[in-house]
C-alpha cells in the first residue's frame, strides 16, 4: 500500500486546523449575539408625578426686639432709700413691693389725722344731741358734719402719702439691674428699677413700599435671632403704620412673637421673614432635573401611568428650589410622570419599564452581575480548549504523582511512554 506523501499530510493537517478555527469563530459569534441580545433590555426607571405648587415670594427684614412693656420705676416723692425688696432677674407681679423710703413723717401725719377724725366725730355727736333738743342750730350741725368730712379726707391723704413711701411694681415682669442701693437719697426723677414684661416680644421692621398692599394684621411671620441659632420663632403682625416714610420709601410694621419660655430678651436683633403666596408652577422632584449644554430638562414618560412607556426629554426652566421640590417652567402638566431614577441610559423614544424605587436598585445589581457573567462567558469561549488541555494535564500529573511505584529488588517499573 502506497504511503501518503508529506505534502498530503501537511494539507490535511492544515485543513483540520482551519476547520477548528472556523468552528471556534462560529461559536464565538453565537456567544456575542447572545450577549448583545441579553444586554439590549428595556430600561427600568422610577417615576414621580408632576404636582402644582405656589411660588413663595419671601420678604426678609432686620429688626430689634423689645419687651411688650418696659417701665422705669420711680418714687412718688423724695427721701432716703430705707429697704429694697427685689434683685436683678427676679419676677414680680403688679403691686409687689420693690423698695421703701423712710416714712417717719408720713406715719406721724397719719396719727395726727386719726386724732382729728376722732375729735370731729365727738363734735358731730354732741351737735346732733343738741340739735335734737333745739339747743343747736341747723347751721351748727352742718358745720360739724363738714368738719368731720374734712378730718376724714385729711386722714386718707396722710395714709396715701405713707403708703406711697413703699414703691410697688406697676407691671408684671422681670426686674433689671438696680441702679441704686439702700441708704441713697432719691427724688421723684430717680429710677429705682426697670421692669420688662417679656411675655411677648415686639419687633419693629421696615418693609419696601411695594409690599405694603400685601401686609395684613394677623399675618404670620417667622423670626430668628443670632443669639439663638437654629431656633425659629413664630409670631403675628400686630400693628401697621399709617404712612410710608418719604425718605426711605418703607413702611413700618410691628410683629409680636410669643415668649412664654422667656428665652428672648429685649434688645435682641431678629431676622423677620414673611411669605406671600404667588403664581402656581409645575413642581418636580429634585432628582428629575437633568442638565446638558442647552440647559435643564426632564425625562417624561408618555402613555400615562402604565407599567411601561416611551420617554421624551422636556426642556424646563428653574423658578424656585425648595427642600423637596423644584418649581419649573415648561411643557409640563400636573400628573405627568417624570423619571427620577434610571436616567443614565435614556434617549428620546427609549422604551422603559416603570418600577418601584427598590425594584430599580435590584435591577441595577442584576444587570451588573449579568454583564460580569457575559464577559466571563466570552473569555471562556476563547480559551475553553486551552482550559481543557490544562485540566487534562493536571489530571495526568495528579495520577502520576499519586500512584506508588512498584519496586522489585533494585529494578524500578518504568511507566509506558518513558524512554528506557
For the ranges 28-42, 231-245, 292-306, 330-344, which has the lowest average pLDDT?
28-42
Percent of the chain with pLDDT over 90: 58
Asked if the model's pLDDT at residue 244 lies above 90, the reply is yes
Q: What is the reported pLDDT for 100?
A: 96
pLDDT, average across residues 340-359: 84
Asked if the model's pLDDT at residue 25 lies above 70, the reply is no
Most confident among 122-126, 210-214, 381-385 (mean pLDDT): 122-126
What is each CA distance from 314 to 92, 195, 309, 331, in whole angstroms? 66, 63, 15, 7
Secondary structure, 3-state, 12-73? HHHHHHHHHHHHHHHHHHHHHHHHHHHHCCCEEEEEEECEEEEEEEEEEEEEEEEEEEEEEE
pLDDT classification of 4: cutoffs 50, 70, 90: low
Domain extent, residue 87, equals 75-101+167-191
pLDDT classification of 419: cutoffs 50, 70, 90: very low
Residue 318 forms part of a structural domain = yes
Residue 393 forms part of a structural domain = no
Asked if 126 and 217 sit in the same domain, the reply is no
Asked if the model's pLDDT at residue 394 lies above 90, the reply is no
Identify the CA nearest to 240 among candidates 224, 260, 218: 218
Mean pLDDT score of the chain, rounded to an integer?
81
- Give me the CATH number covering residue 291: 2.40.420.20
pLDDT, average across residues 179-184: 93
Residue 412 forms part of a structural domain = no
Number of domains in the chain: 4
Asked if 95 and 173 sit in the same domain, the reply is yes
Amino acid at each position: 500500500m502506497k504511503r501518503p506523501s508529506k505534502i498530503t499530510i501537511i494539507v490535511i493537517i492544515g485543513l483540520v486546523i482551519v476547520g477548528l478555527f472556523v468552528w471556534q469563530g462560529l461559536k464565538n459569534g453565537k456567544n456575542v449575539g447572545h450577549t448583545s441580545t441579553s444586554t439590549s433590555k428595556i430600561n427600568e426607571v422610577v417615576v414621580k408625578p408632576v404636582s402644582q405648587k405656589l411660588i413663595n415670594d419671601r420678604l426678609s427684614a432686620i429688626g430689634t426686639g423689645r419687651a411688650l412693656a418696659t417701665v422705669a420705676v420711680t418714687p412718688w416723692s423724695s427721701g432716703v432709700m430705707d429697704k429694697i425688696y427685689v434683685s436683678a432677674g427676679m419676677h414680680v407681679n403688679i403691686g409687689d413691693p420693690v423698695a421703701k423710703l423712710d416714712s417717719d413723717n408720713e406715719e406721724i401725719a397719719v396719727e395726727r389725722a386719726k386724732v382729728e377724725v376722732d375729735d370731729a366725730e365727738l363734735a358731730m355727736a354732741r351737735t346732733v344731741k343738741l340739735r335734737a333738743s333745739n339747743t343747736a342750730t341747723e347751721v351748727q350741725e352742718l358745720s360739724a358734719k363738714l368738719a368731720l368730712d374734712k378730718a376724714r379726707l385729711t386722714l386718707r391723704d396722710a395714709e396715701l402719702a405713707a403708703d406711697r413711701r413703699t414703691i410697688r411694681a406697676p407691671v408684671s415682669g422681670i426686674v433689671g439691674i438696680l441702679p441704686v442701693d439702700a441708704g441713697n437719697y432719691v427724688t421723684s426723677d430717680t429710677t429705682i428699677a426697670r421692669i420688662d414684661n417679656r411675655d411677648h416680644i415686639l419687633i419693629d421692621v421696615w418693609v419696601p413700599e411695594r409690599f405694603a398692599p400685601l401686609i395684613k394684621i394677623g399675618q404670620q411671620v417667622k423670626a430668628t435671632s443670632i443669639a439663638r441659632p437654629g431656633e425659629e420663632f413664630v409670631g403675628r403682625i400686630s400693628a401697621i403704620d399709617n404712612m410710608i416714610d418719604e425718605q426711605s420709601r418703607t413702611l413700618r410694621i410691628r410683629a409680636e412673637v410669643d415668649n412664654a419660655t422667656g428665652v428672648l430678651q429685649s434688645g435682641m436683633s431678629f431676622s423677620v421673614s414673611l411669605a406671600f403666596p404667588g403664581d402656581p408652577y409645575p413642581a418636580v422632584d429634585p432628582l428629575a432635573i437633568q442638565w446638558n449644554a442647552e440647559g435643564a430638562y426632564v425625562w417624561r414618560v408618555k402613555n400615562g401611568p402604565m407599567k411601561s412607556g416611551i420617554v421624551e426629554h422636556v426642556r424646563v426652566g428653574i423658578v424656585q428650589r425648595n427642600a423637596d421640590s423644584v418649581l419649573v417652567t415648561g411643557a409640563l402638566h400636573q400628573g405627568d410622570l417624570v423619571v427620577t431614577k434610571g436616567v443614565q441610559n435614556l434617549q428620546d423614544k427609549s422604551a422603559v419599564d416603570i418600577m418601584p424605587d427598590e425594584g430599580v436598585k435590584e435591577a441595577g445589581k442584576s444587570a451588573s452581575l449579568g454583564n460580569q457573567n457575559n464577559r466571563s462567558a466570552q473569555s471562556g469561549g476563547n480559551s475553553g480548549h486551552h482550559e481543557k488541555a490544562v485540566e487534562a494535564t493536571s489530571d495526568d500529573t495528579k495520577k502520576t504523582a499519586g500512584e506508588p511505584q512498584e519496586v522489585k529488588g533494585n529494578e524500578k517499573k518504568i511507566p509506558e511512554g518513558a524512554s528506557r
